[in-house]
Amino acid sequence: MRRSLPLVAATMLGMAALAQPAVAQDGVAGPDFTTATYGGTTIWIGGGVQFLTLPDVRFVGRGAPGNFTRQKNLEGDFWDAGVAGAGGIETALGFWGNMRVSGAVKGFFANIETDDHTNCRTATCTVVDPAFGIAFFGPPVLATSADRDADYWGGQIEFKFARAEPVHDKPDFYRNDYFIAGADIRGIDQDISLRGNFGGAPIYTLKETLDTTYYGGYIGIGGEYSFGFIPVIGPALKNVGGIYDRLGLRTFIQARAGLYSAETDYNSRFAVQFTPFNSRISQSNDELAFIGSVSLETRKQLGTRSSLSLWTDYEYISSVPEVRYNNGAGRPTRIEEDSVFASRTMLRLNIGLGPTQLYDEPLR
Transcribe 303-342 into DSSP letters.
SSSEEEEEEEEEEEEEEEEEEE---SSS---EEEEEEEEE
| pLDDT confidence of residue 244 | 75
How many whole angstroms separate alpha carbon 269 and alpha carbon 68? 22
| pLDDT confidence of residue 361 | 52
Is-contact 278 286, C-beta < 8 A?
no
Find all residues with CB under 8 Å of 2, minimum gap 6, and list them.
Answer: none
Is-contact 192 146, C-beta < 8 A?
yes
Burial class (CB in 10 A: 0-12, 13-18, 19+), 282: exposed
Task: Indicate the pTM of the whole model.
Answer: 0.86
Query: In a structure prediction context, what are the per-residue pLDDT tens digits for the chain, which is 364 residues long?
Result: 545 544 444 444 444 444 443 333 333 333 344 445 666 789 999 999 999 999 999 999 999 998 899 999 999 888 899 999 999 999 989 989 889 999 999 999 999 999 999 999 888 999 999 999 999 888 778 999 999 999 999 999 999 999 888 777 778 889 999 999 999 999 999 999 999 998 888 999 999 999 999 999 999 999 998 877 777 676 766 666 667 777 888 899 999 999 999 999 999 999 998 888 999 999 999 999 999 999 999 999 888 889 999 999 999 999 999 999 999 887 899 999 999 999 999 999 999 887 666 665 544 3
How many whole angstroms separate alpha carbon 31 and alpha carbon 35? 11
For residue 93, CA distances in Å to 170, 224, 234 come to 26, 22, 37
